[in-house]
Amino acid sequence: MAKHLLFLVHGVGDTKPDWSKPIQDLVRTLYARYQVAKFMPFDQYFAFSEINYNDKFDARRAAWKHAADSVVKALGVGGMKPEVINTLTKWSAEPAKDDFLNTHALDVVMYRFLSLEAEQVRTAVQEQILKELAAQPANDTVHWSVIAHSLGTSVTHDVLHQLFSPNRPTAWGTLPPGLFKPHVVMMLANVSRLLENTDFFGPDGDAYRSAVRPGSTPSDGACDYFINVRHECDPIPKPRLFRPADDWPNTTARAQGRYIDVTINAIEQPNVHDFAHYLKNPKTHVPLFRLLTVPALLGDDEAAAACQAYEQSTPLAKFANDAKRLEQLSLPESEQDWRKILAMLRDFLSQV
Partner 1 sequence: MRTRSRAALLGVLLACPGLRLIAQQGDCAALAASAAGIASGASASSLRPIDRLSLLARTDCLGGTRDLDALTKAAMKVLPARLSDTASRAEMRLVVLSVLDPVLKATSRERDARGNETPERALLGALDSSVTLVRSAVEAGLRATDDKLLLTGTWAWDPNTAAFGDLPLPVTATVNDACAPVTTEACSGAVRTAEFTLRAARLVERALAYYGRPFLASALAVTTKRDARWTAYFGQTLVQFPWELALNSARFTRAARATSGFALPPSDQWVLLHPAVGVEYVWSAPKGSRMTPAVAMELLGYNRWRWNAGNKPAGALGVSAVAAFSDRAYANNVGYGLLVRYAHKYSLTVTSRGGKAGVLLSSEFGTWLSGRQDQAQDAMRLKLPSATPR
> Which of 19, 24, 26, 201 touches partner 1 (CB under 8 A)?
201
* Residue in 26, 47, 71, 342 binding partner 1, rule: CB under 8 A: 71
Whose Cβ is closer to partner 1: residue 96's or residue 233's? 96
- Distances, alpha carbon 97 to alpha carbons 17, 19, 101, 164, 350, in Å: 21, 21, 9, 38, 15
Give the Cβ contact number of residue 231 at 10 Å. 25
Q: State the nearest-atom distance from the C-beta of 68 to partner 1, in Å.
A: 8
Q: Which is nearer to partner 1, 303 or 326 (CB)?
A: 303
Q: Applying CB under 8 A, which of residues 224, 234, 274, 322 lies at the interface with partner 1? A: 224
Within 26-45, the residues that bind partner 1 by CB under 8 A are 35, 38-40, 45
Q: Alpha-carbon distance 102 to 300, whole Å?
A: 45
Does 14 bind partner 1 (CB under 8 A)? Our answer is: no
17 binds partner 1 (CB under 8 A): no
Site string for partner 1, 169-188 (x = CB under 8 A): -xxxxxxxxxxxx-------
CB of 291 to partner 1, least distance (A): 6
| CB 185, CB 148: distance < 8 Å | yes
82 binds partner 1 (CB under 8 A): yes
The residue (of 163 and 233) whose beta carbon lies closer to partner 1 is: 163
Nearest distance from C-beta of residue 217 to partner 1, angstroms: 5
Among 49, 52, 145, 162, binds partner 1 (CB under 8 A): 162
Task: Considering the complex, state which of residue 31 and residue 319 has its C-beta at the smaller distance from partner 1.
Answer: 31
Site for partner 1 in 319-348 (CB under 8 A): none
Stretch 263-302: interaction string toward partner 1, x if CB under 8 A: ---------------------------xx-xxxxx-x-xx
Interface of this chain with partner 1, residues 93 to 152, rule: CB under 8 A: 95, 113-117, 119-120, 123-124, 126-127, 130-131, 133-134, 137-142
352 near partner 1 (CB under 8 A) = no
Interaction between residue 314 and partner 1 (CB under 8 A): no
Asked if 88 touches partner 1 (CB under 8 A), the answer is yes
For position 77 contacting partner 1 by CB under 8 A, the verdict is yes
- The footprint of partner 1 on residues 225-244 (CB under 8 A) is 225
Distance (Å) of CA 308 to CA 168, 210, 301, 313: 47, 37, 10, 9
Q: Does 83 bind partner 1 (CB under 8 A)?
A: no
